[in-house]
């Protein structure tokens, strides 16, 4: 299967299928597999939800509508708990993050070698299936959220309000001298916070999913390179059973992780957006 043994197998699976837009440039390259799988999951999400929205009934709902209303109701409750301002953006944003990230994460539940094998049959020899194990994808979303947070910081608090908050918070003082003295540490803290928000948001999702994918690969390695004769030997059968049990256990546990990570990404985004609307400081 792979030439480089266990190390080569894993390395092969962690490499994206890239397209260089500018020759020799690391930035101007695109991870085609990540982009395609995010688009597929986006189409699945928008297609299913859009289909139901198109056939929506306020009377007795269909089963599909019932299911989607369950999700929307859940998201709406979470958003209403955290976000107490009027906004047309935040709740739909939370919904798309939750469902879309969940679908991206769900690609992890598909056997690690299945889609790459299908791809190799079609002549594509390099493929990463789970978009949320690509730092570009998770950072893309977290940066987009933070850009939105910054936009609201400016529009809701006004440039002066945001400026005041940036230099007058979290250490607050009433006399002007102390205010000036605290401006620098305040600014430093806020800068760290502003940078830490998108980085931690993106890294958390990436880290969890990357680790999960890696464990699936390590389980897959159990019988890597076994021929039929080796599989049918005593050791091979033991390895197969161990592989099956471990894979099953990790998959079951991973269902929890992928849902939880999608949920956390959604909740933190809503929290950050709520902070940007909060003019109370």
Partner 1 sequence: MSINFTLIIQMLVFLVVVLITMKYIWPVILGAMEEREKQIADGLAASDEAEIALKKAQAEAEEILNEARTDAGEVREGANKMATKIKDQAKADAIAEKERQMAAAVAEIEQEANRAKEDLRKQVSTLALAGAEKLLNKEVDSKVHADLLDDLVKEI
Show which residues are catalytic: 200, 204, 208
Q: How many Å is the Cα radius of gyration of the chain?
A: 23
In whole angstroms, what is the distance from residue 219 CA to residue 228 CA?
Answer: 18
Position among 35, 129, 201, 268 found at the interface with partner 1 (CB under 8 A): 35
Q: Which of 74, 129, 141, 127 is nearest to 104 (CA)?
A: 129
Position among 42, 189, 199, 239 found at the interface with partner 1 (CB under 8 A): 42
Contact call for residues 169 and 161 (beta carbons, < 8 A): no
Q: What is the largest CA-CA distance in the chain?
A: 82
Nearer to partner 1, 52 or 274 (CB): 52
Q: Is residue 208 near partner 1 by the rule CB under 8 A?
A: no
Cα distances from 80 to residues 94, 265, 278, in angstroms, run 11, 16, 15
Token digits for 195? 């940078």
- Chain positions 55 to 114 lying near partner 1, rule: CB under 8 A, are 56-59, 61, 65, 68-69, 72-73, 76, 88-89, 91-93, 95-96, 100
- Chain positions 110 to 149 lying near partner 1, rule: CB under 8 A, are 134-137, 139-141, 143-144, 147
Nearer to partner 1, 11 or 172 (CB): 11
Token digits for 18? 């890239």
Stretch that binds partner 1, among 37-45, 173-181, 190-198, 259-267 (CB under 8 A): 37-45
Nearer to partner 1, 144 or 257 (CB): 144
Residue 261 contacts by C-beta under 8 Å, 6 or more apart in sequence? 101, 105, 132, 204, 205, 208, 209
Position among 9, 12, 37, 45 found at the interface with partner 1 (CB under 8 A): 45
* 20: β partners: 29
Query: What residues make contact with partner 1 under the rule CB under 8 A?
Result: 14, 18, 21, 26-31, 34-35, 38-39, 42, 45-46, 49-50, 52-54, 56-59, 61, 65, 68-69, 72-73, 76, 88-89, 91-93, 95-96, 100, 134-137, 139-141, 143-144, 147
């Amino acid at each position: 299967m792979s030439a480089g043994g266990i190390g080569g197998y894993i390395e092969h699976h962690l490499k994206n299928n890239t397209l260089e837009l500018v020759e020799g440039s690391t930035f101007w390259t695109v991870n085609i597999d990540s982009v395609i799988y995010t688009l597929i999951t986006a189409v699945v999400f928008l297609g299913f939800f859009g289909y139901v929205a198109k056939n929506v009934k306020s009377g007795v709902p269909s089963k599909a509508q019932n299911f989607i209303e369950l999700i929307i109701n859940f998201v709406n409750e979470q958003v209403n708990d955290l976000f107490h301002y009027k906004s047309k953006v935040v709740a739909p944003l939370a919904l798309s993050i939750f469902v879309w990230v969940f679908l991206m994460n769900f690609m992890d539940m598909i056997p690690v070698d299945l889609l790459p094998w299908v791809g190799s049959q079609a002549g594509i020899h390099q493929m990463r299936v789970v978009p949320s194990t690509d730092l570009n994808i998770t950072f893309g979303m977290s940066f987009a959220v933070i850009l939105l947070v910054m936009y609201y910081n400016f529009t809701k608090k006004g440039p002066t309000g945001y400026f005041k908050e940036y230099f007058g918070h979290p250490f607050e003082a009433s006399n002007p001298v102390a205010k000036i003295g605290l401006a620098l540490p305040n600014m430093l803290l806020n800068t760290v916070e502003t940078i830490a928000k998108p980085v931690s948001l993106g890294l958390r999702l990436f880290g969890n999913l990357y680790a999960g994918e890696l464990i699936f690969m390590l389980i897959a390695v159990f019988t890597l390179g076994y021929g039929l004769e080796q599989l049918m030997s005593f050791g091979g059968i033991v390895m197969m059973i161990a592989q099956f049990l471990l894979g099953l256990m990790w998959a079951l546990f991973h269902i929890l992780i992928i849902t939880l990570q999608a949920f956390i990404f959604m909740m933190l985004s809503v929290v950050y957006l709520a902070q940007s609307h909060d003019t109370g400081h």
